[in-house]
């Protein structure tokens, strides 16, 4: 049983348009969420995070939205650039051992010029 779900394995977007990556979770004890980006042959790189006490966090072109009642979060990238092409992982933390993040399976984003 997956506690963090990314139901879209892939997403293709035109350069300059908005990319929206979605993530659903089942455990209401999760109180912190993170997005990581992963290029081939590299480790995941931290992108942006959000605490459960907020519903939005913004960092440059990247915004994460959290809807606690729906147990849903999304990552918006505006405008999308070809260099954003990567696999994006959603991860959740339940307040225990902070190394123990629960990851989704990832969404592969392709941004076409």
Partner 1 sequence: ETGVTQSPTHLIKTRGQQVTLRCSSQSGHNTVSWYQQALGQGPQFIFQYYREEENGRGNFPPRFSGLQFPNYSSELNVNALELDDSALYLCASSLKGVLPIHFGPGTRLLVL
> Where do contacts with partner 1 occur on this chain (CB under 8 A)?
4, 6, 32, 34, 36, 41-46, 49, 89, 91, 93, 96-106
CA distance 29 to 51: 12
CB of 4 to partner 1, least distance (A): 8
CA distance 27 to 24: 10
CB of 16 to partner 1, least distance (A): 29
Nearer to partner 1, 34 or 111 (CB): 34
CB of 106 to partner 1, least distance (A): 6
Alpha carbons within 13 angstroms on the beta-carbon side of residue 49 total 14
Nearer to partner 1, 69 or 97 (CB): 97
Backbone angles phi, psi at 93, to 5 degrees: -130, 135
Per DSSP bridges, beta strands 62-67 and 32-38 are unpaired
Nearer to partner 1, 14 or 45 (CB): 45
């Amino acid at each position: 049983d997956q506690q963090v779900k990314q139901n879209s394995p892939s997403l293709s977007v035109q350069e300059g348009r908005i990319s929206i990556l979605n993530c659903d979770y089942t455990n209401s004890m999760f109180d912190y969420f993170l997005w990581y980006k992963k290029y081939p042959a590299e480790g995941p790189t931290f992108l942006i995070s959000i605490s459960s006490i907020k519903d939005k966090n913004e960092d440059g072109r990247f915004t994460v939205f959290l809807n606690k009642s729906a147990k849903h979060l999304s990552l918006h990238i505006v405008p999308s650039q070809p260099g954003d092409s990567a696999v994006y992982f959603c991860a959740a933390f339940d307040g225990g051992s902070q190394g123990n993040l629960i990851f989704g399976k990832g969404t592969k984003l392709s941004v076409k010029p």
